[in-house]
Chain A
């Protein structure tokens, strides 16, 4: 049983009432709200166990190092990695992907190699590869998706030639909601000897992720979309790959020995965590994934599917409401057009009803243009979204009829 009332109560922000109305938060795909346990954990660490990590023996340093490394293990378990050494803490998914681009990418890609991405990538999984391509002479190729946002097996396989050295693909589109069959994609890519980076920023939030079952080489996500704090992200790197990778940034905490002439670098993950990390944020994220595991990602997934069905039913009843992205396998991210009203006008009206949606190009400008728009309105769900939120969304939307 998915106890939505209990879950809702775990998120203190929903107690807020503005102009006598609750906050209808339909922008979790941009950033999710935080459960009380995460906030409590972070406060507790600051109040009782705070010091720097990895540097000293005294009580507080020892305690916080244990907490920090324990957070790494919680994340290891959450995505079923084989070792906690495969979990690298970064600032966010963007930094995770840039790390791979600037280390593995610059080291391994050469002229005429191909980096293959989908049409549905967020800029974070596009621009770093453009730069690596420029620097190395590799080519960036894009495989097509369908007009409804479906993954097209033929298009992918057509692009997957021997010279493809890296496939960088999203697990779930932040605009269309499409869930990509990444396990299949990875299998096929490995057959031509390509490595695969999964942008799991959305994917990891809405479904169970098992990196060993997927067999991915790199997987990136942000803490803040996963009900954790901002300023913390994760990069999973398969250990057989990370051991040969050069560091990204250099400095403290990531070295083995340093003399004035030469430095040898620590083993992963320390090699990739130069400087004092976001200690308390990492611990907060550890708490968030434990919270999610307790509820069960499968349960969250099926609850969100239920919400999506409910949303689609209501949408079908409303004339002139068009969903952009109707892939067969889709999660709780819904881009839409209503009567051709500009998204900025829509969000203005909705925000007066306390309904939070996202408008714009969603940091996926080529995709938004490919779907035939310059700007798109998007509603997205979290584990705490209520059917009433969806009712209130449609009620607020009808207010637009008064003006347009």
Chain B
């Protein structure tokens, strides 16, 4: 999987919203499917316009998550979020300024406020999980 710098470069080469959107859909296509046993209320992210399930975990002190959605563009957004968050230490998670990163992708202006809220619901879930894990360590 590409790191966020590569994704960011790729987005920056694309000028029109159509091309950026197509690229986001292509990324979404590459997202690993999420086992249906995780597609339950327990893992559901509320506050999104589409159905989103997100499963966080910690392996060797590093944070990882897998997720999926029934909306194609949200799958693309999940792919980008994975590039941002996966493999980070749980202490790093809460300091990541995800909105700034999305701004550099040039996607900011294309995400309506309710869609942005949906993305932030995912981010919030990730942050809360990391903060809790951090507290448990201490």
- Residues in A lying within 8 Å of B, measured CB to CB: 341-345, 348-349, 351-352, 359-360, 374-375, 402-404
Contact = CB atoms under 8 A, between A and B. Distances in A.
30 contacts: A342-B50, A342-B71, A342-B72, A343-B49, A343-B50, A343-B71, A344-B49, A344-B73, A345-B71, A345-B72, A345-B73, A348-B73, A348-B112, A348-B115, A349-B21, A351-B112, A352-B17, A352-B110, A359-B49, A360-B49, A374-B50, A374-B51, A374-B70, A375-B49, A375-B51, A375-B70, A402-B18, A402-B22, A403-B21, A404-B72
Contacts of A349: 21
Interface of B: 17-18, 21-22, 25, 49-51, 70-74, 110, 112, 115
Interface residue SS majority, chain A: mixed
A203 to B, nearest CB: 27
Nearest to B22: A403
Contact of B74 (A341, A344, A360, A374): A344
Contact of A403 (B25, B49, B51, B71): B25
Nearest to A352: B17
A375 B21 contact: no
Given A344-B74, A374-B51, 15 more contacts: A342-B50, A342-B72, A343-B50, A344-B49, A344-B73, A345-B73, A348-B21, A348-B112, A348-B115, A359-B49, A360-B49, A374-B70, A375-B49, A375-B70, A403-B25
A342 B22 CA distance: 15
Closest 4 CB pairs of A and B: A342-B71, A344-B71, A344-B49, A344-B50
Contacts of B74: 344
Contacts of A359: 49
A360 B51 CA distance: 10
Contacts of A342: 50, 70-72
Nearest to B114: A360
B103 to A, nearest CB: 18
Nearest to B118: A344
A119 B21 CA distance: 37
